[in-house]
Amino acid sequence: MSSVDAASPRPRTLRLVRPGERPAARTRVDARTRRTIALLLGSTAFLVGAGIVMVLSASSVSAFAEYGDSFVFVQRQAAYAVVGVLACYLTSRMRYDAWKRLAGPFLLVTIAMLVLVLIPAHGIEAYGSSRWFRFGPVTVQPSELAKLALVVFAAATLARNWRRLDDVRELAIPLLPVTVVLCGLVMMQPDLGTTVILAATMFFLAFAAGVRLRYLTLAGVVGAAAGAGLIMSADYRRVRFLAFLHPWADAKSAGYQVVQSLIALGSGGWTGVGLGASRQKWQYVPNAHTDFIFSILGEELGLLGEIVVLVAFGTLIFAGIRIATRTTDVFGRLLAAGIVSWFGLQTLINLGAVTGLLPVTGVPLPFLSYGGSSLVVSLAAVGVLVNVARAPVKGYGPSGRSARRAGAGSRPARGGAR
């Protein structure tokens, strides 16, 4: 054997891992994957930590007025964060392909919980909506669980029908009824913001799977028409939508929340008024520690603080997109794409409402807003992303680097095998 032959690496056989094929073990995670996971977990940890600090600041006044203790909400949020970190660890250690087998039972349990909150004897009503039920000492919001349940079910269905994406019947029969049922149950609470997130996440997941554009265009038009009908069908939603267009025209009533949010953001300037020194949290901005926590953050930490938080969100989304594009398993890729779409959409909808660019929908800011169900489910989804990134891929050797390049660059043939 010559020296050239001895130094040449052995050729590897590259192939895409098809749906239903169980990945085999890989000896190590390459450096690029480790950096991606570090970006994902680092940005998530920063956002959770910043959220606890801001919940303490934004909720101190309302907590004292309601409970006589300024630390009630932050103590609960810290407890939720601990549970969420445990959930993140468990899902990161659990093989993500197990979610394919759990998709059906997980969806059925979620639907049962969504029905439970609509029963007056079990549902807890607040702010005109029945979105929670009590489970022992804690309250659970099933609509947050519905986001993950829909992503898992849709990813499993699309992966199973990977070779038949051109057949609209194969997709519409399982996906359309499930999406309609989930959105309908959430809308009955009522919760238009979460309904929009569920429908839009399904749309982007179908787009990532490669569903034909004409089907997506038709679904988008029908969805937009249905959304407009829902907005105009209820007086309070119609008033809120019109207030979004001209909030200053009724600054003391319909546009009050948006106006006070803009005042808080404008008062912060470049560097803010100082952590804990917000004036708008003194009962001026409604839901200051939940849906409008970014307003208080902008007032106290200024534009620089807002940019840092936005960079953290951007880093999290970037890491999630990198995980999705570098994963060669079809189900893993769709699962990651669905979670990233959900995070990105929810962040945009919340920030759009806070800044007056979108109507107020009552959607929390992921990882920052107060709320146990949202935080725990979101952290569990981050754990799923970590497991997808570290997942073994069959047939690519120790590094898997060439495998990901081959898988990320391959696209299914039009009308052929996908």
Q: What is the 3-state secondary structure (H, E, C) of 325-354?
A: HHCCCHHHHHHHHHHHHHHHHHHHHHHHHH
Task: Write out the two tokens for 275.
Answer: 């952590």
Whole-angstrom Cα Rg for the chain: 23
Give 117-175 pLDDT, tens digit per residue.
988 878 787 766 778 888 877 888 999 999 999 999 999 999 888 777 777 777 778 88
Q: Which of helix, strand or coil describes residue 229?
A: helix
Neighbours of 389 (CB within 10 A): 25
pLDDT at 242: 76
pLDDT at 128: 66
Q: Which residues of the chain have pLDDT under 70?
A: 1-29, 127-128, 392-418
Amino acid (one-letter) located at 94: M
Give 173-214 pLDDT, tens digit per residue.
888 899 999 999 999 988 888 999 999 999 999 888 888 888
Sheet holding 123-126, edge to edge: 123-126, 129-135, 138-140
Residue 1 falls inside a structural domain: no
Distance CA 324, CA 258 (A): 35
pLDDT at 30: 83
Residue 178 falls inside a structural domain: yes
Q: What is the DSSP letter of 11?
A: P
* Cβ-contact 131, 191 below 8 angstroms: yes
pLDDT at 9: 44
Residue 21 falls inside a structural domain: no
Count up the domains in the chain and report the number: 1
Q: Find the angle CA(8)-CA(399)-CA(23) to the nearest 5 degrees.
A: 125
Q: Which of helix, strand or coil describes residue 205?
A: helix
pLDDT at 74: 95
Residue 198 falls inside a structural domain: yes
Residue 279 falls inside a structural domain: yes
* Distance spanning both ends of the chain, measured CA to CA: 42
Q: What is the DSSP letter of 133?
A: E
Residue 224 falls inside a structural domain: yes
pTM score of the predicted model: 0.85
Distance CA 391, CA 331 (A): 12
Task: Write out the two tokens for 221.
Answer: 């038009």
Q: Structural domain of residue 230, as residue ranges?
A: 39-392
Residue 212 falls inside a structural domain: yes
Q: What is the DSSP letter of 19?
A: T
